[in-house]
Structure 1
């Protein structure tokens, strides 16, 4: 550090104490929109217009800009700004889709690189039915008694290897950073992930693994692990959600368990059965589909420039 810099900081400390060491206000235009406003715009884009009593089948960027301004969510905003916000999440989606196609930053993944889709299924209850569930008969559907006692609830955390088609899971009383870290440790302490060149962890933006801090924690614990987030409100991109839907249909429903121990035992037994017979999910939404969708949005904006200008004056 230069001597003049030391003198300047020492003088500021002598004049104003610790407060003098704080950063001073900087010049430049402040951000026009807050992170909360941007998040609300993305949330609106992920809902059907009809849900907000807008007589449209789908949103265009000009339509969404007009809606945000009319409801005083952002104030006047251009369609191009809305398009840029959504494009940021489109880039995140493209990274996930590339990993499903076994590429990363334009390069094919090696045989010692793995893609893991992970998340939590919350609040799986143990409902003890007052009368036993009856299996279907010759002229009778399955009968499930609707009166039950509550035996508590637990969370099921799972890591699904997209290409090896293998699930590793565990249960916990609740979700959180520690239960998710335990899942990561369980997986990354085993082969082939322990000695892998890289293991990509695809997660959504849940509180257990949100933001850059979560990615830093993962890499600090396991240097060969890379966290990749899906866009906000796009957890459907996470393939483990498909596995959770299978668990819901084949394990949890109808919910008739004596206690949480039975729930955990059933989940673990199902994992063994699933891993012995599972096939890769037929994932059909690719980066080409995403590019086509974005191209159509761009073309719509170009064909209707008057809508963009109208959004600014709405």
Structure 2
């Protein structure tokens, strides 16, 4: 053993970050260099005699290279590359396409479906998860998206955004002009809580968490964008009549009744869709101007954003 090799082995044997297996192998060789027998080395390092014999012999035959693990073939793979590709392909398909009654895949469901399709006789969910992790495939995650399909999206969106900035057709709105954002929220459940028990000696009031369903209602809201004022009313359902009733509530009060113009920003719902709705509103209230958001862009409506918040 040369001096350089000895110094390297000493650093391995004493290193704080040296892997345990490398430290033991270095200590075996260093003790063997001191002419210690295998049995004494095994007792000192608390390993088997076979372990001492193995690494002592490898170092004698190959030097430092003999202290490195030799390549291992490992257990033969149970699944071929074609089977792996088939499972990944299945994970990249919608479950409905495969005939599965699911909204999205999970690893256990993918494993069961692979067995059902005959991809493999048996496969575990952890194996599927490991295969998908290599390609960063996560079919159990999803994100909603919607592409604006209105051909006049830019023009319509610009008009709405200009109103939020108190502009119309390039001109500033006057102090007697207002912008109302309106929308309907359907199927709001009316819940009636069951009676609570009053407090008494050594007992606090008990509030019952159960409730009775009182049906479903629609809530219609009108939001003054610049005055931060909300008008609302409930109705059994949405429609032209409930919407016009909401407009009546707003437009019959001041300052909207005597305003020069009141802009109503609405989406393209059936209650206020198209040119007929614009004419109907103008006929009932000549100072009211209906402005539609682009199709599939109701998120431009301020009252919708307040509903989400």
TM-score when normalising by structure 2: 0.47
TM-score when normalising by structure 1: 0.46
Return the index of the structure with the highest Cα Rg.
2
* Bigger share in helix: 1
